[in-house]
Amino acid sequence: MDSNVHTPKPFPQPAAGYTQPFWRTELDDLDSHQSSADLPPETEILIIGGGYAGASAAYHLFNDAPQDKSLGVVLLEGRELCSGATGRNGGHLRPDLYAATKVYQERYGLEAAAEVVRYEISHMKQLEETVRNEGIDCDLTFTRSYDIFLDADHLAAAKAYYDSLVQYDLDFMSDVEYLTEKEAQTIAKVKNAKGGFSFSAGHLWPYKLVAGLIRIAVSRGLQLHTKTMVTGIGQTPSLEGFWPVTTSRGVIHARKIIFATNAYTSALAPEYSRAIVPCKGLCTQIQAAPGAPYEAIPETYVIRHGPGCFIYQISRKDGSIIVGGAEYTYRDSPAQWYSNSEDGSVIPNVETYFDGYMQRTFHGWEDSQATVKQKWTGVMGYSADSLPHIGAIPNKPGQFIAAGFNGHGMPVVFLGGKAVAEMAQKSISFSQTGLPRLFETTAERLTPIYDDTMGYP
């Protein structure tokens, strides 16, 4: 293993030229939009990043003030709209009910850990309401999620923790059902399964959600500038309180800045270089051959080969499967993925892993002739303590962050973007946002005492 691996450094901004995800096959009219030929010289609020976090912040900034063109909000995206992690993920909207909870409970206590779980679960209702009320067509679908274990010892440890949470009488545990070995093989249809759990989850077309939120914000006054890379931020604000921000299209001055830059944060805010590390992952779209037989599996999955070794998957209405993960196949080759913000190529160790995946994993898919139709990489912002960084950036008045969402942003980012928008717009404190206490970005968390980036504990 590379001995430099635990000394992350600041990274270049997202580079041009990248693998093409399935989600970017139907592009929105705003994909390369620039609201004006030149950037405005100044703005009240500047959002950097046009993924899920930036879109949520933009949407919520205008939520209370529809048509208020004087609000002065500019969003800068270095590449096209939603071309970072959000446009390249697995589309899995799956709260983590008991897996990460164990780690958080050991580190911070049960109450703080349970706050995170409830927050994640609340995303399903929040997104359902927003998507319905705003008429955003993003294939949002709710179903059950199977968490299937192939290793008996791993399952036994998970079951013991599940039993302890049930004994605590936590409200959300009533949604979790245990599956025996037989049920995991016949109902969940997973070969060699030793057992598992199921609970409520969802999936969606992430690009269409982001494009929908951005379209609403633009219609209410957001100035959107894609293909505009932020290259630097001045060290001090002007006397009037405006930060000078250098971009590939000139300088813009902003009173408030929201970093929605996820994996790429440390390029602009080097104090985050140990707290948020860019780490590459791979995702695929798999489809059975036309007319070939296969059994429908409308549920979503996480299939665990052992501690820290898992694959996630959703089924789309068109019959295709989006599958990714298998980090364990390349974890010991850090040059392929760790501290790596390049999504222009696949990860060699996992490149062919998903060939024949459905046939070898699921009962009923043996004759499906399923093949990988598309594969792509994306860059996640792995946080050292596995928690996102949300709130006011220490020692930089007027600067805020919502980043470090790991491979688990879909049930976390939407309300994080809302919270950071409220902090920037209404000058409320982190505790007033109602976010889980563990999410607050603090000076202490910038010199982390944990390092989960090389593999989740």
Task: Spell out the SS3 assignment of the chain.
Answer: CCCCCCCCCCCCCCCCCCCCCHHHHCCCCCCCCECCCCCCCEEEEEEECCCHHHHHHHHHHHHCCCCCHHHCEEEECCCCCCCCHHHHCCCEECCCCCHHHHHHHHHHCHHHHHHHHHHHHHHHHHHHHHHHHHCCCCCCEEEEEEEEECCHHHHHHHHHHHHHHHHCCCHHHHHCEEECHHHHHHCCCECCCCEEEEEEEEECCHHHHHHHHHHHHHHCCCEEECCCCEEEECCCCCCCCCEEEEECCEEEEEEEEEECCHHHHHHHCHHHCCCEEEEEEEEEEEECCCCCCCCCCCCEEEEEEECCEEEEEEECCCCCEEEEECHHHCCCCHHHCECCCCCCCCCHHHCCCCCCHHHHHECCCCCCCCEEEEEEEEEEEEECCCCCEEEECCCCCCEEEEECCCCCCCCCHHHHHHHHHHHHHHCCCHHHHCCCHHHECCCHHHCCCCCCCCCCC
Q: Minimum CB separation from ligand FAD for residue 156, in Å? A: 27
Q: Which is nearer to ligand FAD, 150 or 279 (CB)?
A: 279
Please identify which residue in 408, 414, 439, 453 interacts with ligand FAD, judged by CB under 6 A: 408
Q: Which is nearer to ligand FAD, 184 or 282 (CB)?
A: 282
Binding pattern to ligand FAD, positions 279-318, x when CB under 6 A?
--x-x----------------------------x------
Stretch 113-152 residues interacting with ligand FAD (CB under 6 A): none
User: Does the protein bind ligand FAD through residue 324 (CB under 6 A)?
Assistant: yes
Cβ atoms of residues 228 and 245 within 8 Å? no
Q: Minimum CB separation from ligand FAD for residue 229, in Å? A: 5
Stretch 67-86 residues interacting with ligand FAD (CB under 6 A): 76-79, 83-86
Stretch that binds ligand FAD, among 89-97, 132-140, 165-173, 215-223 (CB under 6 A): 89-97
User: Does the protein bind ligand FAD through residue 413 (CB under 6 A)?
Assistant: yes
Q: Minimum CB separation from ligand FAD for residue 95, in Å? A: 9
Q: Which is nearer to ligand FAD, 195 or 206 (CB)?
A: 206
Please identify which residue in 22, 24, 43, 50 interacts with ligand FAD, judged by CB under 6 A: 50
Stretch that binds ligand FAD, among 87-95, 112-120, 140-148, 162-170 (CB under 6 A): 87-95
Binding pattern to ligand FAD, positions 365-384, x when CB under 6 A?
-------------xxx----
User: Does the protein bind ligand FAD through residue 91 (CB under 6 A)?
Assistant: yes
Binding pattern to ligand FAD, positions 225-264, x when CB under 6 A?
----xx-----------------------------xxxxx
Q: Which two tokens stand for residue 335?
A: 């040059």
Q: Minimum CB separation from ligand FAD for residue 128, in Å? A: 16
Separation in Å, CA 143 to CA 53, 57, 286, 301:
24, 27, 20, 11
Total residues contacting ligand FAD by CB under 6 A comes to: 46
| 229: amino acid identity, one letter | M
Q: Which is nearer to ligand FAD, 283 or 358 (CB)?
A: 283
Looking at the DSSP bridge assignments, the partners of residue 258 are 47, 400
User: Does the protein bind ligand FAD through residue 403 (CB under 6 A)?
Assistant: yes
Q: Which is nearer to ligand FAD, 164 or 248 (CB)?
A: 248
Q: Which is nearer to ligand FAD, 109 or 298 (CB)?
A: 298
Q: Minimum CB separation from ligand FAD for residue 419, in Å? A: 13
Stretch that binds ligand FAD, among 26-34, 47-55, 111-119, 362-370 (CB under 6 A): 47-55
Q: Which is nearer to ligand FAD, 35 or 192 (CB)?
A: 35
Cβ burial, residue 151 (10 Å; 0-12/13-18/19+)? middle
Binding residues (CB under 6 A) for ligand FAD: these are 13-14, 48-54, 76-79, 83-86, 88-92, 229-230, 260-264, 267-268, 281, 283, 312, 324, 378-380, 403, 405, 407-411, 413
